[in-house]
Amino acid sequence: MSRPAAFAAVDLGASSGRVMTGRVAPGVLTLAEERRFPNRPVRANGTLHWDVLGLYGNVLDGLRSAPRDLVSVGIDSWAVDYGLLDRDGALLGNPVHYRDARTEGVRERVGAEAGDDLLYQASGLQFLPFNTVFQLVADRAALSRAHTLLLIPDLLAYWLTGEVGAERTNASTTGLLDVRAGTWSRPVLDRLGLPAGPLPALRDPGEVIGTLRPDVAAETGLPGDLPVTAVASHDTASAVAAVPATGPRFAYISCGTWSLVGVELPAPVLTEASREADFTNEGGIDGTVRYLRNVMGLWLLQESLRAWGSPDLPALVAEAEHVPGLRSLIDAGDPEFLPPGDMPARIAAHCRRRGDPEPRTRAEIVRCVLDSLALAHRATLRQAARLSGQEIDVVHLVGGGSRNELLCRLTADACGLPVVAGPVEATALGNVLVQARAHGVVGDLAEMRDLVARTQPLRTHTPRGDDRAWADAAERLGLPR
């Protein structure tokens, strides 16, 4: 019997990256890690950058470790950030990190000048200060020198293949894509005075981008005719593609550095109520819309752990289980938590200003964060259902956050819905499955999700108790009961 088909998934998150090998056959879906590496930003001359060349070097090392029988390679990453190339294809500078301060105040200025309604009706995008469109307005000088703009997965694919393009699910996070037409929005570009020239042709998940360049093949030892296939290159789009849903009435929480909380729809929701609620309409697999809102996510814990010298998180979560719940709460969407820094001090100060007991121990801070995230998940899912008309019977919590048993249980209790936790590596699985479908190994989206449900470890958390304590806590934070 021949081995299941092998696909390499390059999966780059905002705090770490990995190269995984997925094997797919009827009834078979496995993942093996080839290389995992940190993704650390670098501050130089006051600007926060991504070390994109270091990431690319790690990607090559991971591909060098991959099996020789690969069918394809696919790349996904975090959204919104980009590299600028000159006319000869040379990188003009390290991509700037979305958490850099250069966009402070830009979103408000652009909204006042261009009109929030025009921007939302065109892109359907949540107004976040680091959206690509605001980054470009903040640095028009760099854009004026550029011949080509490539989002991070497209930049790495260009270095692997020499082919230029923009994959649609990630392009939908820029604020420059027409959410209904699936094309770059000339009205937005014209209103903001941004050139269309650097924006490359668009491509869909499943398209073959090209084959490895001769130098890449020589460096990795892989065949020169190995294709690089476009996947749902926004990591959340890949994660949602791997949600093990068995019917349409589901919600998802893709929980990592960010919690992306929403529902899958056939068409965007562009109402005034949706815009005022700050919901986003991002591209998903097969023309679906990921109707969601960004919640701060495990960034709150990641920065706290960094401030504490990286203690053991599972031990802290175990301690946090014994801390009284809903005692100290923060608004997980407050922009004060967006920049790097002393997160525990900010959390304590936030609670103090709100009149809540100030969390003093590490376990109390962890419990405060997890309770607050569960409340944010509750509020966002209830708004998503109301604004979209989508009924929700079950919540699928995927990604690294699905390892956190306490967060999963609290989310089930807060939402009053069963929470199915897993798979942990949903993004890599979605990356692999889109490649497998493109190369004829697996069928449609329903078959992809069924394969995930039948092969990956999942845990179901049933809500406990009544809703009154959560409703009161939501009211304390100014959230809908």
Catalytic positions: 235
Alpha-carbon span 119 to 436, nearest angstrom: 36
Alpha-carbon span 438 to 202, nearest angstrom: 17
Q: What are phi and psi of 407, to 5 degrees?
A: -60, -40
Which of 458, 384, 451 is CA-nearest to residue 420? Answer: 458
123 contact partners, CB below 8 Å, separation of at least 6: 133, 172, 174, 175, 176, 177, 178, 179, 185, 188, 281
Alpha-carbon span 439 to 156, nearest angstrom: 21
CB 250 within 8 A of CB 448: no
> What are the Cα distances from residue 167, in Å, to 79, 108, 182, 231?
11, 28, 11, 8
Q: Ramachandran region of residue 44, left (φ > 0), alpha (ψ -120 to 50) or beta?
A: beta
